[in-house]
Amino acid sequence: MSDGQLIGAAILMCAGSIISAAQSTATQTPAAPTITTVPALNGAVIATLATTAPGAKIYYTLDGSTPATSSEIYQAPFLVASSLTVKAIAATSAKSGSSITTQTFSPTIPSGTLVWSDDFTYAGAGGGQPDPRTWTYDTGHSGFGNHEQETYCAWNSDEAPCSASVHSAAVAIEGQLHIIARQPSPGVYTSARLKSEGHFSFMYGRIEARIKVPESQGMWPAFWLLGNNIATLGWPACGELDIMEHIDGSNPPSHAGATPPGYDWVQSSVHGKGLDGGTPYHPAGFSAADWHIYGMTWAKGKVEFYIDDPAHPYETFTPESTKGTWPFDQGPQFILLNLAVGGDWPGNVDSTSEFPSEMLVDYVHIYAN
């Protein structure tokens, strides 16, 4: 064999060894995921799943069933305030999966007990950053599917038109969250859209927020939820739960059940694949410009919306009462608070629109069912 042939053979052997090693690494069974917890309130905990396997995803169930690669993909820590069994595996695309990690939770928490809260209490007279352990931000000027006019700003962003010195993002002042829509220059609008995506989520329970909204043309405040699995399934298959949306009371929606002239209103709604539902809430004398508690009670197969009094929901949805695919028993959802400017529903700003406009949030609470 010539020197060239010897060198070629050596290269082939080396390449074969590398490929073999790579295949061996790729087909190794990942280590089982870990489950850790930190305290929430009154016996509830926040559970976090993790894996050390490079490139592995965690698949899990909350009902004690055996997880598989068709199960929910873990995306964010979630609240545990009731009895449940978490089972999880780690898997890569090259191997079926790890052994199962199991943890059973058996908290004895009475119904109606506060189990998680953000009361937006921050030190300092000038306010401060909303808790970064819970809140992150959608940013930019994409229109967000609704042809909205605002640029959403993150906390302390100095990327034009956002300003770190004049916050259009969220500022916590005197125990309240301020989401501020501004007009820094003609035709330019800034605001904020907070979300707990990737940081905190929950499934089932009663969630409410005490909110005061602006009433000016083009202002579109909202308090809502999206499924963690939006990262894998997309919208609307992930499910959307709108606890409160509002546009200027003098510009009511045009669908059946629309607000009579002269009445103020808000709306709750549900959205999923082939599923849409929701009607305005407009009792005589109601003003969205006043402080109100906007809430939702969420149980398996049932969602109820209320204002000010959880004992008297004004709208109820179940799989039987709605068309389409019911997405609200798939897994945890994350929280959003935002103030949009303009767009398909409220219409764009005009000469009557007021800047700055503020959506004020006193607290967000979650209670055990």
Domain co-membership, 202 together with 64: no
Residues 6+ away with beta carbon under 8 Å from 320:
none
Domain co-membership, 179 together with 215: yes
Domain co-membership, 308 together with 176: yes
pTM: 0.90
The answer as to whether 302 is a domain residue is: yes
- Domain count for the chain, please give it: 2
Of 105, 133, 166, the position where a domain reaches its end is 105
The answer as to whether 20 is a domain residue is: no
Domain co-membership, 236 together with 283: yes
Residue 181 near residue 190 (C-beta atoms within 8 A)? yes
Picking from 188, 118, 199, the residue whose alpha carbon sits closest to that of residue 160 is 188
Domain co-membership, 248 together with 268: yes
Picking from 207, 242, 211, the residue whose alpha carbon sits closest to that of residue 366 is 207
The answer as to whether 101 is a domain residue is: yes
CA distance 266 to 245: 6
Domain co-membership, 258 together with 312: yes
Per DSSP (E only), the strands in 273-356 are 275-277, 280-281, 292-299, 302-307, 315-317, 333-341
Domain co-membership, 227 together with 299: yes
Of 105, 131, 147, the position where a domain reaches its end is 105
CA distance 71 to 81: 22
The answer as to whether 204 is a domain residue is: yes
Residue 292 near residue 221 (C-beta atoms within 8 A)? no
Residue 369 near residue 83 (C-beta atoms within 8 A)? no
The answer as to whether 17 is a domain residue is: no
Q: Can you spell out the DSSP letters for 310-321?
A: TTS-SEEE-TTT
CA distance 49 to 58: 8
Measured CA to CA in angstroms, residue 158 lies from 164, 215, 335, 347 at distances of 5, 28, 25, 28
Judge residue 97's burial from the number of C-beta atoms within 10 Å of its C-beta, 0-12 exposed, 13-18 middle, 19 or more buried.
buried
Domain co-membership, 303 together with 356: yes
Of 64, 81, 105, the position where a domain reaches its end is 105
Picking from 14, 54, 52, the residue whose alpha carbon sits closest to that of residue 32 is 52
**Paired tokens of 197:** 């995506």
pLDDT at 8: 46
Instruction: Say whether 248 sits in a helix, a strand or coil.
Output: coil
**Paired tokens of 232:** 């894998």
Measured CA to CA in angstroms, residue 98 lies from 30, 33, 64, 229 at distances of 5, 8, 17, 22
Structural domain boundaries enclosing 342: 114-367
pLDDT at 284: 82
pLDDT at 221: 97
What string of pLDDT tens digits covers the 369 residues of the chain?
Answer: 555 554 444 444 444 444 443 444 445 789 999 999 999 999 999 999 999 999 999 999 999 999 999 999 999 999 999 999 999 999 997 567 999 999 999 999 999 999 999 999 875 556 688 999 999 999 999 999 999 999 999 999 999 999 998 887 677 777 899 999 999 999 999 999 999 999 999 999 999 999 999 999 999 999 999 999 999 999 999 999 999 999 875 555 544 444 455 578 899 999 999 999 998 898 888 889 999 999 999 999 999 999 999 999 999 999 999 999 999 999 999 999 999 999 999 999 999 999 999 999 999 999 999
The answer as to whether 27 is a domain residue is: no
Looking up residue 101, the CATH number of its domain turns out to be 2.60.40
Residue 47 near residue 115 (C-beta atoms within 8 A)? no
Domain co-membership, 170 together with 302: yes
**Paired tokens of 296:** 């939702």
Domain co-membership, 95 together with 146: no
CA distance 86 to 62: 5
The answer as to whether 28 is a domain residue is: no
Looking up residue 340, the CATH number of its domain turns out to be 2.60.120.200
Element (H, E) at 22: helix 3-26
Residues linked to residue 266 through DSSP beta bridges, in sequence order: 281
Domain co-membership, 99 together with 131: no
CA distance 363 to 181: 20
pLDDT at 285: 84
The answer as to whether 149 is a domain residue is: yes
Q: How far apart are the first and last CA of the chain?
A: 79
Domain co-membership, 134 together with 92: no
